[in-house]
């Protein structure tokens, strides 16, 4: 996530202060509303999908926006649920009770809280509540991963990493447990982390392997870390490692790497991370001379039946000379028997090589500042998060944040969609004045999680996507978790969940 955006957005005019609008058909509905034939996808929000689709065959449907008000969770019947801003990390799972079919758990990044929404079989929202309040979240919550027994061998467990603080931890939350029952994972150590991603159970039988992206652009930060336990589902007793270039101690940055070359890499163990203080963790990692990518963002693994190939984004930073400025997409191929030894690292996309004007073109030449990533059988979906120093915020010819499709078989890059900041909406009385009179700069909005839910809902090529509509603001959106928290005051943005149907896997 963009570490400087809060300052950027304060200068943008706030949109109309709106009252909430009841979401049609949701109030007083607690049944699963079994469809007569198949899943019926429909627009569920009072707002439109805030994207512009470029890829043929892709349809969009709204699930929920901050302007909607849906039936509250029965445990908190006195409070209507408001879907908060900064929707980022997400987990989607089949429900465990008879009152709903599906459950989504969503990070609200700068609000530092986690919501839970239930849906019927047709993905109509039924109930909503906050299962982690901002006072428990404490840190900015970015990407997240929902571990499931069928895939990972343990869970269900929602792993949401904290960032923007050297004392940040990764939270673990049972998606079906009562609100407020999550805790943090001390065995990972302290990381300003974007995500903590467990590999599937097919990767290393009997082991738990979790990759952690250090979203830190300080001189000492920005590593790729790995947690390994010899017990499936053990998050408390494993070892933690950090990625290194083999036999190259002096070169800890990434400017010495080039696209088209596979580099030998290995992992070095961090001694006793559970007992280290935050600064002690930094010092211990620094002593191992790791690769300092700078702002390692989202991580995913290949859906090839093994899961030992890792893809991760480095969003880029203007802090430091031996780091990527405009971002890269990396591929890490692990050893088949030992994840800490014998790996290969290569660059798939390199924004620095492609430096230059970033115009509205459906090709790799517009690529910059990747953040979230989603791997399918044949593709990577790479989502941009333009940084304030980039060309996105200069001139009328630039574009808003893109999602790209990278073909894993051919390397071909295609444009999927672009965020629609609705600068054409200029009336201060228009409820869709998201751009606040056209004042929002290019790249002011960003994407959150993109997750393939095709197999869960039984509709091929269907994904759920979070949108962070940073300049859409209302006093009604502030403190959506119901906790008046001075550390998150002024965060009154809206956001949205949508479906993408017809996106190839």
Each residue's pLDDT tens digit, 403-413:
999 999 999 99
pLDDT at 78 over 50: yes
Residue 93: CB partners within 8 Å, gap ≥ 6?
102, 103, 104, 105, 146, 148, 156, 175, 456
375-379 mean pLDDT: 98
pLDDT at 4: 46
How many Cβ atoms sit within 10 Å of the Cβ of residue 361?
Answer: 12
Question: What is this structure's pTM?
Answer: 0.89
Range in 137-151, 191-205, 349-363 with the lowest mean pLDDT? 349-363
pLDDT at 25 over 60: no
CB 282 within 8 A of CB 290: no
Q: How confident is the model at residue 164 (pLDDT cuts 50, 70, 90)?
A: confident
> Which helix (H) or strand (E) covers residue 255, if one does?
none
315-322 mean pLDDT: 78
The residue among 422 and 364 whose pLDDT is bigger is 422
The full set of domains in the chain, from first to last, is: 5-501 (2.120.10.30)
pLDDT at 7: 40
Q: How confident is the model at residue 167 (pLDDT cuts 50, 70, 90)?
A: very high
pLDDT at 176: 97
Q: Chain-wide mean pLDDT for the chain?
A: 85
pLDDT at 499 over 90: yes
pLDDT at 432 over 80: no
pLDDT at 28 over 50: no
Range in 158-162, 235-239, 368-372 with the lowest mean pLDDT? 368-372
How many Cβ atoms sit within 10 Å of the Cβ of residue 100?
Answer: 22
Condensed to tens digits (0 to 9), the pLDDT of residues 123-147 reads 999 999 999 999 999 999 999 999 9
| Cα–Cα distance for residue pair 447/75, rounded to 1 Å | 31
pLDDT at 23: 34
The residue among 428 and 244 whose pLDDT is bigger is 244
Range in 20-29, 148-157, 399-408, 469-478 with the lowest mean pLDDT? 20-29
pLDDT at 431: 52
Condensed to tens digits (0 to 9), the pLDDT of residues 447-497 reads 999 999 999 999 999 999 999 998 888 888 889 998 999 889 889 899 999
pLDDT at 106: 98
pLDDT at 18: 37
Q: How confident is the model at residue 161 (pLDDT cuts 50, 70, 90)?
A: very high
The residue among 12 and 251 whose pLDDT is bigger is 251
How many Cβ atoms sit within 10 Å of the Cβ of residue 243?
Answer: 23
Token code pair at residue 413: 């890059």
Q: How confident is the model at residue 391 (pLDDT cuts 50, 70, 90)?
A: low
CB 187 within 8 A of CB 240: yes
pLDDT at 216 over 70: yes
Query: What percent of the chain has a predicted confidence (pLDDT) above 90?
Result: 63
Residues in the chain: 505
pLDDT at 386: 79
pLDDT at 474: 84
pLDDT at 17 over 60: no
> Which helix (H) or strand (E) covers residue 447, if one does?
strand 446-452
Q: How confident is the model at residue 433 (pLDDT cuts 50, 70, 90)?
A: low
Query: What percent of the chain has a predicted confidence (pLDDT) above 70?
Result: 82
pLDDT at 21: 35
Range in 11-20, 75-84, 420-429 with the lowest mean pLDDT? 11-20
| Cα–Cα distance for residue pair 98/315, rounded to 1 Å | 42
pLDDT at 74: 63
319 CB burial (10 A radius; 0-12, 13-18, 19+) = middle
347: alpha, beta or left? (left if phi > 0; alpha if psi -120 to 50): beta
pLDDT at 322: 76
How many Cβ atoms sit within 10 Å of the Cβ of residue 180?
Answer: 12
């Amino acid at each position: 996530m963009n570490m400087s955006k809060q300052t950027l957005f304060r200068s943008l005019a706030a949109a109309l202060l709106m009252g909430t609008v009841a979401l049609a058909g949701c109030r007083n509905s607690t049944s699963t509303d079994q469809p007569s034939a198949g899943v019926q996808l429909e627009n569920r929000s009072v707002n439109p999908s805030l994207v512009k689709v470029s890829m043929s065959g892709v349809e969009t449907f709204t699930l929920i926006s901050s302007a909607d008000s849906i039936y509250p969770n029965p445990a908190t019947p006195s409070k209507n649920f408001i879907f908060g801003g900064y929707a980022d990390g997400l987990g989607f799972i089949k429900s465990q009770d008879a009152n709903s079919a599906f459950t989504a758990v969503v990070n609200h990044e700068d609000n530092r809280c986690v919501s839970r929404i239930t849906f019927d079989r047709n993905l109509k929202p039924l109930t909503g509540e906050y299962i982690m309040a901002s006072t428990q979240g404490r840190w900015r919550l970015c990407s997240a991963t929902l571990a499931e027994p069928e895939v990972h061998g343990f869970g269900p467990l929602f792993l949401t990493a904290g960032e923007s603080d050297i004392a940040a931890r990764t939270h673990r939350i049972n998606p079906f447990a009562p609100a407020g029952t999550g805790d943090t994972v001390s065995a990972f150590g302290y990381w300003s982390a974007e995500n903590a991603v467990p590999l599937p159970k097919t990767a290393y039988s009997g082991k738990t392997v979790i990759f952690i992206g250090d979203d830190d652009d300080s001189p000492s930060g920005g590593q790729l870390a790995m947690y390994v336990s010899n017990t499936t589902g053990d998050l408390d007793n494993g070892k933690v490692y950090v990625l290194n270039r083999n036999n190259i101690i002096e070169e800890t940055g990434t400017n010495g790497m080039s696209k088209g070359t596979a580099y030998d890499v290995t992992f070095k163990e961090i001694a006793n991370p559970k007992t280290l203080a935050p600064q002690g963790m930094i010092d211990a990692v620094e002593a191992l001379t790791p690769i300092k990518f700078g702002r390692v963002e989202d991580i995913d693994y290949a859906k090839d039946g093994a899961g030992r190939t890792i893809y991760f984004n480095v969003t880029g930073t203007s802090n430091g000379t031996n780091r990527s400025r405009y971002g890269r997409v990396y591929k890490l191929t692990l050893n088949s028997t030992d994840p800490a030894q014998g790996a290969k690292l290569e660059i798939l996309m390199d924004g620095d090589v492609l430096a230059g004007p970033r115009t509205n073109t459906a090709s790799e030449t517009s690529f910059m500042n990747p953040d979230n990533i989603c791997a399918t059988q044949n593709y990577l979906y790479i989502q941009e998060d333009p940084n304030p120093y980039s060309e996105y915020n200069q001139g009328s010819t630039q574009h808003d944040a893109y999602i790209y499709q990278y073909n894993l078989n051919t390397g071909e890059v295609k444009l999927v969609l672009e965020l629609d900041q609705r600068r054409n909406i200029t009336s201060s009385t228009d409820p869709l004045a998201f751009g606040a009179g056209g004042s929002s700069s290019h790249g002011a909005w960003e994407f959150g999680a993109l997750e393939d839910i095709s197999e869960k809902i039984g509709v091929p090529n269907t994904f759920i996507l979070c949108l962070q509509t940073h300049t859409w603001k209302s006093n009604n959106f502030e403190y959506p978790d119901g906790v008046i928290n001075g550390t998150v005051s002024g965060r009154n943005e809206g956001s949205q969940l949508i479906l993408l149907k017809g996106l190839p896997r």
